[in-house]
């Protein structure tokens, strides 16, 4: 089962809550984030988005989650020209790095649908 679906040549803001191994939300304020869409885990990126800690990004935003007092969800901003692949099941993963050398990795599955006929 896919974490989310999207259509080729469509835009979508994908909200991904981030929790640590104990299930607690992670404060993303000081995190560097790299998110990748690929055909298989560890495969070459089809799409890559990044955000640098403390900086504004038009690729990945952060927002509060479930009443948390800090941003604990990343928002991957997918644009129409970002997804130019055939429909199918793809993987996505994010490496979330912090200044104290901690890393959090988030992995999942995306169902990409062919663009609807005009």
Cα 4 to Cα 44: distance, rounded to the nearest angstrom: 20
Q: What is this structure's pTM?
A: 0.87
Cα 75 to Cα 71: distance, rounded to the nearest angstrom: 10
Q: Mean of the pLDDT values across residues 13-20?
A: 91
Q: Which CATH number fits domain 4-113: 2.60.40.1930, 1.10.10.10, 2.40.50.140, 1.25.40.10?
A: 2.60.40.1930
Bridge partners of 91, per DSSP, are 38, 109
Predicted pLDDT at 117: 67
Q: In the chain, where are the structural domains located?
A: 4-113
**Tens digit of pLDDT for each residue in 23-62?**
889 899 889 999 999 998 889 999 999 999 877 788 999 9
**Tens digit of pLDDT for each residue in 93-108?**
999 998 887 788 889 9
Terminal Cα distance for the chain, rounded: 28
Cα 106 to Cα 40: distance, rounded to the nearest angstrom: 14
């Amino acid at each position: 089962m896919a974490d989310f679906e999207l259509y080729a040549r469509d835009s979508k803001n994908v909200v991904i809550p981030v929790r640590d191994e104990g299930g607690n939300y992670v404060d993303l304020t000081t995190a560097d984030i790299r998110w990748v869409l690929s055909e298989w885990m560890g495969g070459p990126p089809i799409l890559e988005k990044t955000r640098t800690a403390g900086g504004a990004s038009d690729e990945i935003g952060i927002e509060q989650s479930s009443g948390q007092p800090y941003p604990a969800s990343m928002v991957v901003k997918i644009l129409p020209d970002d997804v130019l692949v055939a429909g199918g099941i793809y993987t996505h993963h994010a490496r979330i790095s912090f200044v104290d050398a901690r890393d959090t990795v988030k992995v999942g599955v995306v169902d990409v649908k062919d663009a609807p006929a005009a």
